[in-house]
Amino acid sequence: MLLQRLLFLLTLAAAATAQMRDCPGISGDGYKVMLDNLSVFGPGGQTTTLLRDRLRQKVQFDLSAIQLETTPQMVLVPCRDRAPQDVTDFNPVIVDSLNDHRVLVEVWGQIEAHAGLSVQRAQLNFTVVPVNFYDRPVVPPGGFSTAYQRRIGGNPDELVKIFGDFSDLKAYVSIAAGVKSLKEHDYDQAFQCFCRADALLAQPPTGMEPAVRASLVKYVNQEVNNAFTQAHNDQPVRSSLGLDGTRPVCPGAL
């Protein structure tokens, strides 16, 4: 019993020290999406490790797909040694540092797996860096996250299937790219990103809470207005936005 407790404490200590480690490969140029290691809770075992690997592959695959269709281009940075435990790990110093390195979103999460039980849970969390840095009140108290739960029959691929096409991740990345472009005075790009985010939020993303979605829709509209106003007032920057003094409408919007 004592040995078990000791092992548990040691595991906790190891998890605590694994929290916010550095991420090699972050120093390159361009926008970045960071993919952290996914923490595993519970006794785990071979199935959990397999599940974690599959999940990581799936996230990596979907982020690669986002890169193909999103402007501006971004780099996927895998951070194997970095495993945040809680939203409080993202204190202002860390968010400041991420923003300095043009990180748009940091994806991290946990898998809860119990051997012998048929229900497996996974949670993906998204730290939308520019929103955290500039508009902290928009971030829900527990951060942006998506929880997945599935009764599985010993096949880890079943959980991976329900992650769908990660439309919520696409929405977060688009919002982050919009805010970052706006702060970098690239108003045309900001407008495009916000319009894309608006379109993605219009088709309810799989794992996003309705209240969070509503709040983000409001935020995106407000930022579109900001992009228009700033483009109009920023004389040294040439932007097609607001040239004629009218607020532009997102392509495809009614």
Partner 1 sequence: MGADDEPEFDDSAEAEPPEPGGGESGEKAEAKGPKDFWDKLQALSPFVTGVVLAAIGYFLTGSVNKTVQKSQLQFNYVKEMQELLAKLGDSKTTLEEAKTTAVALAAFGSYSIPPLLNEIQSGELNRPAAGEYGLRAAALADPANACPALTRVLENRTAAYNWLTDRAAIRILGSAGCPKAQPVLAGYRVRLSAAASSPDGFTAFQATLADEPTVTKETVDQLKSEVGKSMKLLEQAGLQQ
Kindly list the residues in this chain that would bind partner 1 in the complex (CB under 8 A): 17, 19-24, 26-29, 81, 93-94, 96-98, 100-102, 180, 183-185, 236-237
Indicate the residue among 150 and 185 with the shorter CB distance to partner 1: 185
Indicate the residue among 82 and 170 with the shorter CB distance to partner 1: 82
Q: Please, what is the minimum distance in Å from the beta carbon of residue 149 to partner 1?
A: 30
Indicate the residue among 98 and 216 with the shorter CB distance to partner 1: 98
Please tell me the number of Cα atoms within 13 Å of 115 on its side-chain side. Answer: 7
What's the distance, Cα to Cα, between the start and end of the chain in Å? 65
Q: Please, what is the minimum distance in Å from the beta carbon of residue 128 to partner 1?
A: 16
Question: Would you tell me the crossing angle of helices 187-202 and 210-233 to the nearest 10 degrees?
Answer: 160
Measure the CA–CA gap between 102 and 34, rounded to whole angstroms.
Answer: 11
Q: Please, what is the minimum distance in Å from the beta carbon of residue 202 to partner 1?
A: 28
Residue 115, SS3 per DSSP: coil
Indicate the residue among 25 and 252 with the shorter CB distance to partner 1: 25
Q: Please, what is the minimum distance in Å from the beta carbon of residue 42 to partner 1?
A: 24
Q: Pull the structure tokens for residue 98.
A: 């991420």
Q: Please, what is the minimum distance in Å from the beta carbon of residue 242 to partner 1?
A: 18
What single-letter DSSP state applies at residue 35?
Answer: E
- 155-178 burial code (b ≥16 CB/10 A, e <16): ebeebbeebeebbbbbbbbbbbbb
Indicate the residue among 114 and 185 with the shorter CB distance to partner 1: 185
Q: How far is CA 64 from CA 73, 77, 139, 239, in A?
A: 11, 11, 26, 29
Partnered with residue 79 across adjacent β-strands are: 36
Indicate the residue among 133 and 166 with the shorter CB distance to partner 1: 133
Q: Please, what is the minimum distance in Å from the beta carbon of residue 183 to partner 1?
A: 4
Indicate the residue among 104 and 200 with the shorter CB distance to partner 1: 104
Q: In what order do the strands lie in the sheet with 119-128?
A: 74-79, 31-41, 103-112, 119-128, 144-151
Measure the CA–CA gap between 191 and 182, rounded to whole angstroms.
Answer: 8
Partnered with residue 112 across adjacent β-strands are: 41, 121
Q: Please, what is the minimum distance in Å from the beta carbon of residue 27 to partner 1?
A: 3
